[in-house]
Chain A
Amino acid sequence: MTLIKTKVGRRSFIKTSAATGGGILIGFNWLVSCTPATEEEPTVAIPNEWFDINGYIKIGDTGMVTIYSPNPEIGQNVMTSMPMIVAEELDVPWKNVVVEQGSLDEDAFKNPQFAGGSLSIKLSWDALRMAGAAGKRMLMEAAAKEWGVAVTDLTASEGVISEINGERTIEYGQIASKAVGIEVPEELELKEPKDYKLIGTRQKNVEGPKIVTGKPLFGLDYKREGMLLAMIEHPPAFGLKVVDFNTEEIKAMTGVKDAFIIDTTIPEPGGLGINAFPQLVAIVGESTWQLMKAKKALKVNYESVSEAENSEMHAAKMEADFEKGQAATSRLDGDPDAAFASATKVIERTYTAPFMAHNTLEPMNFFANVTADKAELVGPTQTPKLLEESVAKLLDMPAENITVDMTRQGGGFGRRLYTHFGLEAAAISKKMGAPIKMIYTREDDMSQGTYRPTYRSVYKAGLDENNNLIAFSVKGIGIPEGPVFPNRFPAGSVDNYVAESRGIETNISTGAWRAPRSHFTAGAEQSFLDEVAELAGKDPIDLRLELFERAMKNPVGEEHEYEAERYAGVLKLVKEKSNWGTETPGVFRGVAAYFCHNSYVAQVMDMVLVDGKPKVKKVYCAVDCGILINREGAENIIQGGVVDGIGHAMYSELKFEDGTPTHKNFTTYQLVRFNQAPAEIEVHFVENEIAPTGLGEPGLPPAVGALANALYKATGTRYYHSPFSTADQGSNLIG
């Protein structure tokens, strides 16, 4: 039996939220806002009255259930998977559930409301189950009281409470009014995984019907009566600051209400407050097109406040500073120098990756309505709580007077963890004394910064006369942070091991980009291991399994970050599913496995030659994320991670000249397209009962390594520098 404590912090789980839900979108009313959880018609009618059970659950008198999804929805599908967990424990038919986005209210949700680090499911697993179980218990208590029996005489399933040894039954909707406010015991029983009816099934995106019909869902779609539109102009280069601009000329333009400089500097902004351009020109009007024309007419004077950097300088600095100074993180096992000296074979390879932009397809935007004593913010953010705190600092206003509501978000990938766009909207609204929606153009978005850092890592391995891996070294540097995780694989599996990570300062702002550092390190490490296996004359999967065996049976050092058994498990599963070891003429295979964000993913990539150019045809994925919540969404996000990994490793790159990003739109910045994606991606899951972990990030990193390894088989060339399709190394690659 699994028991769970219902007291979290100061209050019992029964506390309901005053702030959940709310009419935040155009034409909001309950009927159009709520999305049935399935395409199946609900078997119950739309309720006349709703009863708040707890912060997550509202039950209608007809038995229809509303479940609030607490976390930002950026495409990782938590708006479906998180309510599924609640519905499982509440034990209601999924087709009678409607899902709504919850407002920011961490006290009511007992859960940190952010989307980052693939953590939503992992961190909320207990809170979501508890919400459902507490709701079910309250309904059962109410029924027991109604019938004058003990709650232990009752059972509940599929939205109906029944007497165990009697005839009486009552539906949740009929007893919900009496369940409001009932105390729940300090401990509640949770279901055993074997009893799950909903968790592990395939359920479709609860917002699918709205997405395919173009309903207003996203931040950019948000509209409010009397709302003005605003656009910004930031300096074109890192190292520049706005001085002044042709204000009168701009203000005289058709459709321009006002134009001014804003400053969004706040005290102690923290890492997610990073912003290279706190001072911006803002233009406000009523038409996006007129604002775009005004932006084109801007003549802004800038002053230089720091050095103008360029890509050649970055590459030279990374090489020069490679072993200088103190490593930020490091690990040393055994005596690598001696082991390398005694090794029969030594191999050393250098890997690099450029800066990249996030390029969420929905550009940065936010709505703000700041009045004398209140501020209301609505839009796409991965960190609503941090935004609330940051706006409080900017406006010098208590956080209680600020609300943040989340719209659906047109991609996140880490970009919307940052607060600057919300602050900009708040600053503009304050100046105008009116509700405004601020929107970025693609050029504003791609040249603003918050980029994936640039990296350089050197890997070195030593083999003894029996081709055993006896020494391993990885040293990495990056601008501004190094890419190496010293305690990750192969730490723990090699006697003589050294890992070091260093960073170099820059004035270019950088940020978390889907699977930060892991996406680069997985690609470098997994293609290096492919070369090590080749040098050792071993199958690349067998080499890895040997190392995991060592880490399981006799680990080196005090600790390592991964569970070798689960790591080996995904490799074995992908080996089986892909029939690894069988040769198909014309098919070139690469394999990789990586652990990050608490989940394990292995991939085998099959490449073919189309008109002599390599193209990924099929990918096999094996995933261990513990208990699988929604098979459909999980498959989708892994498939997307593979495509994203292939695309960015092959095509994407952001360079700098005199501090200016050389790419500002998709005319020159290449993202993977339909014709470059694999035709098929199979996803298999390890079945176990381990507490679930996230999938937003872990599918991407191994794709980079598997791609590099398949490319080698197809072309005979090793690819060390992403993007692989650049003229100097990959002119024969597809695309």
Chain B
Amino acid sequence: MAIFNLTINGEKREVDVDPDTPILWVLRDELDLVGTKFGCGVAMCGACTIHLDGAATRSCQVPVSAIEGKKITTIEGLSEKGDHPVQKAWLEHDVAQCGYCQAGQIMSASALLDSNPNPSDEEIEVAMTGNICRCGTYVRIKDAIKTASKL
């Protein structure tokens, strides 16, 4: 166990955990930020996607010891009032079915739009293919990303 000082959603947070603990479990077990989901633990499903210094990152693969000094944004910190353009577009298109993967989908989509405000269909495919939706909401995800790019 060791103390780590983290910057999460703009706030300083201190945790005392094993240094190899993936940030996913620091968020979920230590900080009660459970919006970031566990799906596979091997970076194959994207449910745990967060922004690490703005880049979409699978939090199940990044140990807490590797992120001190970096800026972490989770779904809870994407916007203050749940009104980020991607969140608004997700509601407009009523994307969710079970909803479990959607935080990860939204984090991947918002990172894409931050770096590329008007992505092509191919660019959207590249950015979103790492996020599995077992319910099959991909058509609505694509429509929502296109709407968000215009907001």
Contacts and interface: CB of A to CB of B under 8 A. Distances in A.
B41 interface: yes
B61 to A, nearest CB: 13
Interface in B52-72: none
A672 B139 CA distance: 12
A636 B32 contact: no
B97 A229 contact: no
Contacts of B134: 359-361, 411, 413, 644, 671
Contacts of A77: 97
Interface string A169-188: 00000000000000000000
Contact of A667 (B28, B37, B42): B42
B45 interface: yes
A633 B33 CA distance: 28
A221 B75 CA distance: 14
Interface stretch (A268-276, A286-294, A313-321): A286-294
Contacts of B25: 287-289
Looking at A218, A287, A412, A633, the one whose CB has the most chain B CB atoms below 10 A away is A287
A204 B136 contact: no
Nearest to B136: A643
A213 B87 contact: yes
A216 B34 contact: yes
Contacts of B18: 254-255, 287, 289-290, 293
A411 B82 contact: no
A215 B136 CA distance: 22
Contacts of A289: 17-18, 20-22, 25, 29
Contact of A74 (B44, B98, B129): B98
Contacts of B22: 289
Interface string B112-132: 000000000100110011111
B137 A636 contact: yes
A679 B44 contact: no
Contacts of A409: 98
B29 A647 contact: no
Contacts of A413: 134
Contact of B98 (A229, A411, A642): A411
B40 interface: yes
Contacts of A408: 98-99
Contact of B94 (A205, A286, A288, A359): A205
A640 interface: yes
Contact of A204 (B91, B99, B135): B91
B74 A214 contact: yes
Contacts of B130: 673
Contacts of B140: 636, 639
B149 interface: no
A58 B37 CA distance: 33
Given A361-B45, A677-B136, A215 B35 contact: yes
Interface string A183-209: 000000000000000000000110111
A250 to B, nearest CB: 16
Contact of A76 (B35, B74, B97): B97
A290 B19 CA distance: 11
B74 to A, nearest CB: 7
A674 B90 contact: no
Given A76-B97, A442-B42, A674 B138 contact: yes
Contacts, number: 194
A412 B21 CA distance: 29
B39 A361 contact: yes
A362 B75 contact: no
B74 A208 contact: no
Given A287-B29, A408-B99, A665-B42, A212 B128 contact: no
Interface string B7-36: 000000000011011100100110011111
Nearest to B128: A674
Contacts of B111: none
Interface in A210-248: 211-218, 220-221, 223, 229
Looking at B25, B41, B90, B134, the one whose CB has the most chain A CB atoms below 10 A away is B134
B136 A361 contact: no
Contact of A209 (B82, B106, B137, B141): B82
A212 B90 contact: yes
A287 B97 CA distance: 30
B139 A213 contact: no
Looking at A208, A221, A223, A637, the one whose CB has the most chain B CB atoms below 10 A away is A208
Contacts of A362: 37, 39, 98, 100
Nearest to A223: B32
A680 interface: yes
Given A212-B82, A677-B136, A254 B28 contact: no
Contacts of A26: 32, 34
Contacts of B87: 212-213
Contacts of A214: 33-36, 74-76, 103
A590 interface: no
A214 B47 CA distance: 11
B6 interface: no
A695 to B, nearest CB: 11
B99 A410 contact: yes
B75 A361 contact: no
A213 B100 contact: no
A220 B132 contact: no
Contacts of A363: 38-39
A208 B136 contact: no
B41 A205 contact: no
A672 B136 contact: yes
Contacts of A221: 34
A409 B32 CA distance: 19
A255 B131 CA distance: 32
A48 interface: no
Contacts of A640: 97, 135-137
B136 A639 contact: yes
Given A212-B87, A212-B106, A641 B136 contact: yes
Interface string A653-679: 000000000000111000111110111
Given A208-B90, A288-B28, A674 B125 contact: yes
Contacts of B39: 361-363, 442
10 contacts: A209-B82, A213-B35, A213-B82, A254-B1, A360-B98, A363-B39, A411-B98, A639-B137, A673-B138, A678-B139
Given A212-B102, A223-B32, A666-B45, 17 more contacts: A205-B94, A207-B96, A211-B102, A214-B36, A214-B103, A220-B37, A223-B34, A287-B17, A292-B41, A410-B100, A636-B140, A639-B137, A647-B136, A674-B125, A677-B136, A677-B139, A679-B142
Interface of A: 26, 39, 74-77, 204-205, 207-209, 211-218, 220-221, 223, 229, 254-255, 286-290, 292-293, 359-363, 408-413, 439, 441-442, 632-633, 636-637, 639-644, 647, 665-667, 671-675, 677-681
* 6 smallest beta-carbon distances between A and B, as pairs: A214-B35, A643-B136, A75-B98, A410-B100, A214-B75, A666-B44
